[in-house]
Every structure is written in structure tokens, then in C-alpha cells.
Structure 1
């Protein structure tokens, strides 16, 4: 079983908490993407990144000094987004780290696919960015089947905790004998079930922690998830979509 998760835009360098173990499987491709980015002007990169002057300047500086083999941070500690805050990998026990290293795969526009302990450097690149590299129309075309091939194991089971921007990199290539389950996190608003981005990100990270703490190995065990006020809704779910409703809105969150 593999779990797929989106990366986060905000990244840091942390070589003190845990040492990285190994390098990204598609590092050679990342080097080509890095070289392509370095050829771009400040204005071109700012447009590509869709960000303000401060963020563009910071990432331009990072890009200028980017070395993919030095000062590496384990991927799961490098990302600082909401999902990763709720996963809280820095306080995982050894067995929980071992679980995510085996089961969790982080999808990345720059690196392709990452194991949690792969050594990475900060970068800024979204999968939906308008980047035509190596004859490919966009990054989806550039990566092709490779992300799917890395996240599918002999079980053929994939638990999707990624956003649509990233999950589509895998979904396009699914085969009939794959078991692909997306976890949907939402709440009732004026009678309608809606997904709120921030709360969904919290829940995705919390779900990874839940799975690691319980050593989850089957889809059935996912249905027991009851953190942050969420409960599994059998009547709203299907074989390929597990729906969790935030029924208790008083549950403590770290917004």
C-alpha cells in the first residue's frame, strides 16, 4: 500500500533534527529542471511562480545557489505546509518514521516522487506551472507515467491524500486491477457538503499521522479516523471515495 500526498510551497532547511537517507529516485530529471529554471530571467520566474516580489527574490536567490547534493533536508521535514504541521513528523517515533518511509510518497513537480527521508533542497515549482521543458508541453507531460510507476507497489493499493493538482499525475495511468481510494474531508454548510481547503489540508496531515501511529495496512482501518472532529460517513462513501465529515466543529485545530 502506498499513500500519496502533495508537497507544500513553503520549505525550510533542517539538517539537525534527522539526517536524510538516500536521494530522490528522479534526481537526474530534477537537475534538468533546475538547469531550465536557472536560464530564466527574474520576470519570467516571477510569472512562473505567480508570487510577490519578496517570495520571487527569495527563491531566485535559492535557485542561484542550488546544489542538489549538499545541505540536504529529509523531504518530510523540509515541507512546512499545513498538512505537514499536522503530520508533525519531527516528533514521530522510530516505528512511525519507518511506516511513512515505507508507505508515504510525496509528489513533487521538481523531484517527481519523494520518500519521506530523501534528501532535498528548497525549490519553488508547482505541477500546474506553465513550464515547457525538454519538448514536453507541461510538467504533466514531462513526468508522464513515472510518478504512477513509483507509487504503485505489488499490492496495487494507493490511498490518495493529495490535491487534484497532484493526484491527476497518478490517476491518468491507473489500471483496472489497482485499488485507488481518495479520502474526502468536508463539512455541511447550509445543507451542502463542501470541502474547505485549510481544514482538508489539516485532515490529510492528521490522517498520515493516524495511519503511522496505528500501522494501518488496510482500507477498512481508515474508516476509524476520528480526529479534528471528523467522522467517516458510510452512506456518502463509495469503494473509491471515503468521505469524512467534520461533524464536531469544536474540535481543537491549530489554525
Structure 2
């Protein structure tokens, strides 16, 4: 079983807490992206990033000085988004680190796919970015089926905790051998299930922590997830979609 999650836009450098294990699988492809981005102007990069001047200046300086092989941070400690805050890998025990290194994979527009202890540097490049890389019209074309093939070579059972932007890199290449389970974290609004962005990110992080703490090895085990007031709803789920609904907290004031 493998768990896939999205990266986060905000990243940091932490070369002191834990060492990295290895370089990313597709670092040579990342070199191609880096070289291309170094050739772009500040204006072009800011357009790709769709961000304010402060963030654009920060990432432009990062591109100018970028070195894929020095001062590397383990990927799991580098990303700082809401999902990672609720996963809280900084306080994992050794066996939990071992679990996520085996089971967890982070999808990335820049690196393709990352193991938690792959060494990375801060970057800004979303998978949906309007970036034409040499003969490729998008990052989806650039990576093609390479990310999915790597993931499928590791396991035929995938737990999808990634956004659609990133899970598309995998779901576009599914075959009959792959069991691809997407987790939905929502609330009922009439007869519709509504997903709220921030709450979903929180739940995805908590789900990874739940799986690591409980050493979940079978996809059926995630049905026991009951954090942040989410409960698995069997009647709304099927073999490819596990629905967790958020219940009102009776103890809340």
C-alpha cells in the first residue's frame, strides 16, 4: 500500500533536525526544469507563480542560487502547509518515520514523486502551472506516466489523500490491476456532500498521522479513522471512494 499526498507551497530549510536518506528518484528530470526556469525572466516566473511581489522575489532568488545537491532538507520536514501541520511529522517517533518512509509518497510538480526522506530544496512550482518546458506544453506532459509507473511499481494499492491537481498524475494512468482509493472528508448539505478546503487539508494530515501511529497495512484499516469528528460512512462509500463525514462536536461550547 502507498499513500499519496500533495506538496505545500510554503517550504523551509531544516538541515539540523534529521538527515536525508537519498536524492529524489527523478532528480535528473528536476535538473531540466531548474535549467529551464533559470532561463526565464522575473516577469515570466512571477506570471507562472501567480503570487505577490514578496513571494516572487523570494522564489526568484531561490531559482538564481538553486543547487539540487547541497543543503538538503528531508521532504517531510520541508513542507509547511496545513496538511503537514496536522500530520506533525516533527514529533513522530522512529517507528512512525519508518512507516511513512515506506508507505507515504509526496507528489510534486518540480520533483515528480518524493519519499519522505528524500533531500530537497525549497521551490515553487505547482503541477497546474502554465509552464511550457521545451517541447512540452505542461508539467503533466513533461512527467507523463513516469510518476504513476514509479508508484505502481511499488504497490498496486494506492490511498489517495492528494488534491485533484496532483492525483491526476496517477489517476490518468490507472489499470485493472490498481486499487485506487480516494478519501473524501465532507459534511452533508441536504443530499450533497460538501468538502471545505481547509478542513479537508486538516483531515488529510490527521489521516497520515493516524495511519502512521496505528501502522495501517491494509486499506480497510483506514475506515477506523475518527479524528477531527470525522466518521467513516459505509452507506456513502464504495470500494474506490471512502467517505468520512464530519459530525457536530457535542462537547463544543
TM, length-normalised to structure 1: 0.96
For 1:163 and 1:250, the matched residues in 2 are separated by 30
Change (3 A) 1:154 1:49: closer
Contact 1:4 1:151 in 2 (8 A): no
Residue 93 (structure 1) aligned with residue 93 (structure 2): yes
For 1:170 and 1:154, the matched residues in 2 are separated by 13
Q: Aligned-pair distance for 1:150?
A: 1.7
For 1:113 and 1:31, the matched residues in 2 are separated by 14
Provide, for residues 37-72 of structure 1, a one-character-per-residue CA deviation record: whole Å limited to 9, x for no partner.
Answer: 111111101100000111000100111111100110
Q: Aligned-pair distance for 1:134?
A: 3.2
Residue 173 (structure 1) aligned with residue 173 (structure 2): yes
Q: Aligned-pair distance for 1:136?
A: 1.1
Map residues 95-114 of structure 1 onto 2, 5 A cutoff. 95-114=95-114
Q: Which moved more, 1:209-218 or 1:189-198?
A: 189-198
Aligned to 1:54: 54
The answer for unaligned runs of 5 or more in structure 2 is none
Q: Aligned-pair distance for 1:74?
A: 0.3
Change (3 A) 1:173 1:251: farther
Q: Which moved more, 1:129-138 or 1:219-228?
A: 129-138
Contact 1:229 1:250 in 2 (8 A): no
Task: Count residues with an aligned counterpart.
Answer: 252
Aligned to 1:197: 197
Provide, for residues 184-243 of structure 1, a one-character-per-residue CA deviation record: whole Å limited to 9, x for no partner.
Answer: 001123553200000000000110000001110111111000001100000111110000
Q: Please identify runs of 4+ aligned residues in structure 1 that moved more than 4 A.
A: 249-252
Q: Which moved more, 1:152-161 or 1:75-84?
A: 152-161
Q: Aligned-pair distance for 1:16?
A: 1.1
For 1:251 and 1:213, the matched residues in 2 are separated by 25
For 2:240 and 2:192, the matched residues in 1 are separated by 21
For 2:81 and 2:250, the matched residues in 1 are separated by 23
Change (3 A) 1:250 1:146: farther
Secondary structure at the residue paired with 1:15? coil
Aligned to 2:125: 125
For 2:190 and 2:243, the matched residues in 1 are separated by 18
The answer for unaligned runs of 5 or more in structure 1 is none
For 1:123 and 1:204, the matched residues in 2 are separated by 22
Alignment RMSD (CA, Å): 1.3
Aligned to 1:152: 152
